[in-house]
Amino acid sequence: MNSEIVRSSEQLNEFASAFAKAQENLSDAERESKGHHGKFASIEAVTAAIRPILSKQGISYTQPISSYQKEDGEWVFCCTTRLLHSSGQWQESTMAKPIDYSGCKTNQQRDFEYGKSVTYMRRYSLFSVCGIGAGDDPETDHKDEKPEIDNKSDPKKRTPKTEEIASKYIIEIQEIINHKDRSAFNKVEKRLKKESKAVQQHLENDMKGAKNYLNENMEPAAVKQEDLM
């Protein structure tokens, strides 16, 4: 099972403004590589899609890898993708994924499993934090049988995807956590109910985490009466 943790600097105003401008020009990564289950976007395609656009807005990123071994002997590897703004503000997301070495008989096989998992985490973490996809949005694929339209001449014109909508909510949720704003959380919770099921499922863990944090870190006296209704 994979898990994800989101953190950020105390202030996000300058980062949020720059990131919003970057997202206006971000488009989905090209699925140029072939795998067992069809075409997919390689890590090279993902970085080529996001790096120049983020850089123009003063945003860079790092993806350090860490690992730990659980009591049952299972190894879990973590990829932390941090977006850094030139102002010093930042937001990061850590994705954790277990790696099964049970079928590996040689160090070379272990290295292969490690490399495969790290590349997987790097790709999907970048998809998530940047709010892009690889042209395979389940909400829009096969929705109807209309002829395909060639959008290659203007790839920037597109409707918001699930990851893009969710990423904006994640920034807002992090601001709520930083300021311990229960009232704002309740408003986001109501607004989220009007979004698609895909967006709600994407943000389920983030909302649960924020709610638990507010419950654990707010004094009972600080909770407004309206928040209890």
Give SS3 for 149.
Answer: coil
Give residue 72's identity as a one-letter amino acid code.
D
Calpha distance 86→109 (Å, rounded) = 40
The residue whose two tokens read 């993708």 is 81
Calpha distance 102→83 (Å, rounded) = 34
pTM above 0.75, yes or no: no
Confidence of residue 137 (pLDDT cuts 50, 70, 90): very low
pLDDT at 22: 94
Q: Flag whether pLDDT at 59 surpasses 80.
A: yes
Q: Which two tokens stand for residue 114?
A: 């490690």
Give SS3 for 114.
Answer: helix
Percent with pLDDT over 70 in the chain: 76
Q: Flag whether pLDDT at 127 surpasses 80.
A: yes
Calpha distance 1→96 (Å, rounded) = 8
Confidence of residue 154 (pLDDT cuts 50, 70, 90): very low
Q: What is the pLDDT of residues 5-33, one digit of tens each?
A: 788 999 999 999 999 999 999 887 777 66
Residue with the bigger pLDDT between 76 and 145: it is 76
Question: Given phi > 0 = left and psi -120 to 50 = alpha, else beta, which region is 69?
Answer: beta
Confidence of residue 181 (pLDDT cuts 50, 70, 90): confident
Q: What is the pLDDT of residues 86-119, one digit of tens each?
A: 999 999 999 888 888 888 888 888 888 888 888 8
Range with the largest mean pLDDT of 104-118, 143-157, 166-180: 104-118
| Mean per-residue pLDDT over the chain, rounded | 77
